[in-house]
Amino acid sequence: MIEKTANLSNLFKEKAAAAASSAELEQLRIEFLGKKGYVAELMNDLRNIPNEQKKEAGQLINEVKKFIESEIQNRNREILKAEELRLVEQAESYDESMPVDINSGSYHPITLVQREVEEIFKTMGFAVEDYYEITDDYNCFEALNIPKHHPARDMQDTYYLSTGQLLKTHTSAAQNTILRKYAKNLEQGNPIRAIFPGRCFRNEKIDACHENTFFQMEGIMVDKDISISNLIYFMKTMLSEVFQQDITVRLRPGFFPFVEPGFELDIQCTICKGKGCPSCKDSGWLELCPCGMIHPNVLTAAGIDPEKYIGFAFGLGMTRLAMMTYGVKDIRVFNSGSLKALSQFTEKSFTVPEESKEA
């Protein structure tokens, strides 16, 4: 029996090594361990063995059975492993550099810039307001302390409509409406903080630098104690966020009838850092935001007592900012509808282009 079991073990080893698939291995299992298999045969042989040897012989058969069972498992594992390796081996290696069409849409550059600036102001507690494109003399001029005979009202600057209305020439036209909307909040101790982006129109000949239709953003803040110091702080903080770098600002006196004092805010040229370059016409500074303390007459026109409340206002040329941000040299691109140009603006968030960061 010793010899028989040993032979059987060897036979299995031989055959198992030759088995190349799980299916062949299953055949071997049936051949050796099946009802009519070799092990079953040995069990039958047990009957012919003397009783005193039966126990020992039975143990031997059990051992060989266990051996075969575990060998089948081991061998099966090996076969599966080899099969996996073969699949990996045969698999195709893909070329990620092949062009694929992401079929991406695009935002208008003004949308991108506007959204970015709005986000910055929202985090600073400013409400984002909307306003009409068509307004009237009162909102566009009179409520802003622009006297009747001011040159800004002349036909050459403003588009007048057959209804007697006009196309707003600046986002400041919304000031009266927005101040009125929030005036009651002041009494409850809540400051007015709002920005209102919008499209403006001026009767201008169109060329690479001039458009009759362009975007601005206006911002106001009104409370009991708002100062020039606060105005500079907010402008500096906002512009540093917009340009994603620490921005140096300077204020110069500027005249706008709806603010007093009024300022032209310049930023130190982001390209040459103030040394002078073609972008800043060698001055080291870029004129960016007109701003100032809201004129008492403007507050009064909106039903706010200028003795009790004070505030600042600023304007930001969004079209200009978009040109600076993306290095657009011809303003006509914005209203061109040319998809070759406009489809490039796919990013939700804009970044300052590298070349404008370098010296």
Q: Rule CB under 8 A: is residue 78 a binding residue for another protein?
A: no
Residue number with CB closer to another protein (24 or 287): 287
Q: Please report, as residue ranges, which positions from 275 to 304 form the binding site for another protein (by CB under 8 A).
A: 293, 295-296
Q: Which of the stretches 30-38, 40-48, 78-86, 338-346 binds another protein when contact is defined by CB under 8 A?
A: 338-346
Residue number with CB closer to another protein (16 or 200): 200
How far is it, in rounded angstroms, from Cα 247 to Cα 185? 33
Match 């010899």 to its residue by tokens. 3
At its nearest, how many Å lie between another protein and the CB of residue 348? 8
Count of residues in the chain: 359
**φ, ψ for residue 145 (rounded to 5)?**
65, 25
**Cβ(281)–Cβ(300) under 8 Å?**
no
| Single residue of 66, 81, 245, 255 touching another protein by CB under 8 A | 255
**Cβ(359)–Cβ(271) under 8 Å?**
yes
Q: Rule CB under 8 A: is residue 269 a binding residue for another protein?
A: no
Q: Rule CB under 8 A: is residue 138 a binding residue for another protein?
A: no
Give the count of beta carbons closer than 10 Å to the beta carbon of residue 255.
12
Q: Rule CB under 8 A: is residue 309 a binding residue for another protein?
A: no
Give yes or no for a cis peptide into 261 (omega within 30° of 0): yes
Residue number with CB closer to another protein (228 or 352): 228
Q: Please report, as residue ranges, which positions from 1 to 40 form the binding site for another protein (by CB under 8 A).
A: none
**Residue by residue, what is the 3-state secondary structure of 33-49?**
HCCCCHHHHHHHHHCCC
How far is it, in rounded angstroms, from Cα 219 to Cα 129? 10
What's the angle, vertex CA 350, arms to CA 222 and CA 250, rounded to 5?
45
Residue number with CB closer to another protein (32 or 334): 334
N-term to C-term CA, the chain:
94
Site string for another protein, 46-75 (x = CB under 8 A): ------------------------------
Q: Rule CB under 8 A: is residue 137 a binding residue for another protein?
A: no
| Single residue of 261, 300, 328, 332 touching another protein by CB under 8 A | 261
Largest interatomic CA distance in the chain: 133
At its nearest, how many Å lie between another protein and the CB of residue 191? 4
| Single residue of 16, 221, 269, 280 touching another protein by CB under 8 A | 221
| Single residue of 53, 227, 244, 351 touching another protein by CB under 8 A | 227
Instruction: Kindly give, in sequence order, each residue whose CB lies less than 8 Å from that of residue 337, ignoring residues fewer than 6 positions away.
Output: none
How far is it, in rounded angstroms, from Cα 68 to Cα 139? 97
Residue number with CB closer to another protein (271 or 294): 294
Q: Rule CB under 8 A: is residue 122 a binding residue for another protein?
A: yes
